[in-house]
């Protein structure tokens, strides 16, 4: 796998991780005190949304760059 292929996988990873975090949310919420679970899940959701937004911005830049070079 070339350098560009690795970069694409690294960009798609933040888009896949929220799905995995969603599966882990229920067991974590059941084990923690409600106040702590709420803070943890909210903070994780905001962080994952930010990572997804950054990944989408990078993908857009890559697609624009690819369109200019051809």
Output the tens digit of pLDDT for each of the chain's 70 residues.
566 677 777 777 777 888 888 888 889 889 999 999 999 989 998 998 888 888 888 878 878 877 766 5
pLDDT value at residue 4:
67
pLDDT value at residue 53:
86
Query: What angle is formed at CA 25 by the lines to CA 20 and CA 29, rounded to 5 degrees?
Result: 165
Question: b/e string for 24-34 if b means 16 or more Cβ within 10 A?
Answer: eeeeeeeeeee
pTM of the predicted model as reported, rounded to 2 decimal places: 0.67
CA–CA separation, 8 and 70 (whole Å): 18
pLDDT value at residue 18:
80
- Count of domains in the chain? 1
Nearest to 12 by CA among 49, 48, 45, 59: 59
Residue 49 structural domain: 3-69
CA–CA separation, 5 and 1 (whole Å): 6
């Amino acid at each position: 796998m070339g350098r560009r292929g690795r970069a694409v996988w690294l960009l798609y990873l933040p888009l896949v991780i929220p799905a995995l975090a969603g599966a882990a949310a229920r067991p974590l919420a059941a084990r923690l005190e409600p106040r702590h679970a709420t803070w943890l899940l909210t903070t994780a959701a905001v962080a994952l949304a930010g990572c997804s937004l950054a990944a989408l911005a990078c993908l857009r830049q890559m697609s624009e760059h690819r369109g200019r070079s051809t």
